[in-house]
Chains A and B, each alone.
Chain A
């Protein structure tokens, strides 16, 4: 009750301030008058009476102030005054305001943007209920160091019996062709077993998920659409449920639409379809199933891991013939988030640390600027203290000013964060397809607000406290000469500058290491020439292309494409270098027994022109030729890596190998140069090249899906249109997809290094600039303060060189002290970057020396200008300058 009354009274006195004020005045005046009347009755004259009352009862003005400021509303009111006064101050010092707001905008903006990435990758819960209990299940094979092997159907059926996992689902990824609705489209599809949606605990927003009988072979012609496909292809029409669409030439019923934030296994999946698996499947050889499961409540990961190990042992006993060749097979569970972000976590953490350092430097710089500005205002402040303002009141007012400054910086920072997220291609190097793109949502905005206010309190308080330090006598009588207060502030500012230098060094070291890694990575010899090559993929549907038909199709296609004027050469291949499709196979060599692990190679199926289109050099022998296929496939080309590994002392040409015991022998006719087939930063794997043919020689590769490799002077889109035109006469229903320059694929493979290299360089460059400004500011101020001293020294005969050295010495001292602290911090911190570096050690002395050198030069340059101004002071002018 009384609280309410209190609030009401407070509000009333705020809103009807004038009336309430008048009432108080009247009441107090009455008090004074009545007290005076009493005295007059006792015989005093009026003037003496009023004076006596004031002495006895206290000054009326002070009383009014005391009574007025007792209510809570007066805090609000004075805060409002502070804000208005602060705004006036900021407007008055436009230069200072602009510099501070810009510095803060960059600092807070970059921090907010990076935080939004951290949030969407590491902090925000995945959009599945119980997401922390969802695990991926992988087979492992230690003899070859393989940790993420997919499972076979019999393995899945056994794991499915697990007691520690509530559900286990298998899924496979692939693509399918949608026809009958506009242009044929190649869509990416995920086939999932019956527990697929239950594991993820998500239901369609529209329609239903798969029923048990739809997981039976022959009843699986149903499909669930992704939200983006439903929106883009079907105009978000809810009536689509129950309608049919044509997928790979077969009619399928649409039964549901998933929510927009359902991105499993990846955000670019367009459709989900059932994956029927026969309960008695004994297909041991085809390891195509990705497994995902959810731990039962109260079950720990290790418990489940142990249980699945015993299940795997059971499978090995059940099929001894198959598993005797796979000694060392194991099973491993990986939490879902770890699976998605495990490999980028170090990068993201390094980036947030980097941007945090930059923000610290920005704030330090502003604290230093505000301190300097406080020196200018110390007379104003001293006057206010002298006429009765309390120190708390002054601090509060300075803090309000600084808070305004930081809030303005934060608001401008949000614009920078938005631009940054829009402009920086994060998707290339971060798994945003699975987790959703970062955005400035409520969480991120709160983070920005908290950052803004906490930095304002921390870095705004130092100058506010220092500036409000009352040394009235010193300041008020000061006549331009060094006062004790400013000496002390200079010490604080030197400390701030040294920490800026230290932070900059840490950032520079990180950026230096990343840039060195990127340079090494870009300098890697690829072994092929990606310039002017456009690639695209196509897949022939089984229904219209039975066995025996697709080799002819690809032959005709290449001939037609070759006739396009801008095309210089064309070839086909089953998998491009550095792409995610990976076909490989084991092989046997004539007359030798190879160790397990050495007899595996990537398998490339190519047309004869592939090596010339890609400019892969032939080292020995010859390339493949159509004649090699008649009457049966009999030849193979190997890369240098394989030749050296298998025949280190001998000539590989003329040697024979085969893919299976019952397959024909193939003669090695040529050795080609190594290419970086799995990424610029990976060792070249042994490789076998076979000529494209439908005749069997023991290789299992999907010959219907091939990539067209075109060397051309045209843009990808132009050449795709031209090829589309040629394709229409062959098969108008066949979509072209994955249209890319080969150069893009190559640069995507370096993006994991490029992104942190570029961002850390931007942060470090900014830090360096801020540190330089900070050093310059402090030294220039010191010089201005010491004009008198300089004048005296010069008058007493100090040479100009001496003065120059004196002030450069200040800078050198800062650089040395700050730099050493930075080196220590950098040495401690860079080890967290180890996994991000390529062919560079985290403690590379050249890099550390060069960044320390760069920093030293920048600090000296920043010192040179104020120091040279100091040395050119005219002693006469300086001494007269009072």
Chain B
């Protein structure tokens, strides 16, 4: 039994969604499963938060949605990263790395 799913660090969900979509276009449920798998069950997304993030990214022009058939012949909206989204992901990843390194240094200093 994995640990109880934990809350995301404030403001990181958008980055995780972008990262997930960087590999291939995916629908909403796919995104949530992928994030859960990659985090080894640490992050379990609530549908509300997920779709809020998707709508936000869509409005900002970072991702784009398209209706397609799934492997189970169901209609679903697949989201893909735009050029702008890819750039944002690079920036955020770099920024995140810097911040984590800094926080690590602070924590290890004591």
Residues of A whose CB lies within 8 Å of any CB of B are: 1-2, 5-6, 9-10, 23-24, 26-28, 30-35, 37-38, 56-58, 60, 62-63, 66-67, 70-71
Residue numbers in B under 8 Å from A58 (CB-CB): 46-48
Indicate if the CB atoms of A9 and B51 lie closer than 8 Å.
no
Q: Which of B52-90 contact A (CB under 8 A)?
A: 52, 55-56, 58-61, 70, 72, 74-77
Q: Say whether B46 contacts A31, CB under 8 Å.
A: no
Chain A residue with the shortest CB-CB distance to B77: A27
The reply to whether B28 and A30 form a contact with Cβ atoms under 8 Å apart is: yes
Q: How far is the CA of A545 from the CA of B60 in the complex (A)?
A: 91
| Docked-complex contact A23 and B52, CB < 8 angstroms | no
Are A23 and B59 also in contact (CB < 8 A) when A28-B51, A66-B52 are?
no
B29 CB, nearest partner CB in chain A, Å:
4
The answer to the question of B44 belonging to the interface, with a C-beta cut-off of 8 Å to chain A, is yes
Query: Is B34 interfacial (CB-CB < 8 Å)?
Result: no
**In the complex, A60 Cα to B50 Cα: how many Å?**
12
What separation, in Å, do the CA atoms of A678 and B33 have in the docked complex? 97
A/B interface sample: 28 pairs, CB < 8 A? A2-B59, A2-B60, A6-B59, A10-B59, A24-B51, A27-B76, A27-B77, A28-B47, A28-B51, A30-B74, A30-B75, A30-B77, A31-B28, A34-B29, A35-B29, A35-B32, A37-B72, A56-B44, A57-B45, A57-B46, A57-B47, A58-B46, A58-B48, A66-B51, A66-B52, A67-B52, A70-B52, A71-B55
Q: Which residues of B contact A31 (CB under 8 A)?
A: 27-29, 32, 47, 51
Measured CB to CB, the closest approach of chain A to B55, in angstroms, equals 6
**Do residues A60 and B51 form an inter-chain contact, with CB atoms below 8 A?**
no
From A26, which residue of chain B is reached at the shortest CB distance? B75
Q: Are A67 and B75 in contact (CB under 8 A)?
A: no
A interface majority secondary structure: helix
CB within 8 Å for A66 and B48 given contacts A26-B75, A27-B77, A71-B55: yes
Q: Could you tell me how many residues of chain B have their Cβ less than 8 Å away from some Cβ of chain A?
A: 24
Q: Residue among B32, B55, B59, B75 with the most chain A CB within 10 A?
A: B59
- Complex Cα distance A28/B29, Å? 9
Q: Check A67–B29 contact: CB distance below 8 A.
A: no
Say yes or no: A27-B59 contact (C-beta < 8 A), given A34-B74, A57-B46: no
Contacts of A57 in B (CB 8 A): 32, 45-47
B residues within 8 A CB of A35? 29, 32
CB pair A67 B48 closer than 8 Å? yes
Flag if B51 contacts A63 (CB, 8 Å).
yes
The distance in angstroms between the C-alpha atoms of A31 and B61, with both chains bound, is 22
A30 contacts across to B, CB distance below 8 A: 27-29, 74-77
A71 to B51, CA, bound (A): 12
Q: Are A1 and B51 in contact (CB under 8 A)?
A: no
Q: How far is the CA of A318 from the CA of B65 in the complex (A)?
A: 96
Once the chains are docked, how many angstroms separate the CA of A58 from the CA of B5? Answer: 14
Q: Are B51 and A27 in contact (CB-based, < 8 A)?
A: yes
Whole-angstrom CA separation of A5 from B58 in the bound complex: 9
Whole-angstrom CA separation of A23 from B29 in the bound complex: 15
Given contacts A30-B27, A62-B48, whether A67 and B60 have CB atoms under 8 Å apart is no
In Å, the complex CA distance between A31 and B28 comes to 7
Q: Closest approach, in angstroms, between the C-beta of A54 and any C-beta of chain B? A: 9
Tell me how far the C-beta of A458 lies from the nearest C-beta in chain B, rounded to whole angstroms. Answer: 36
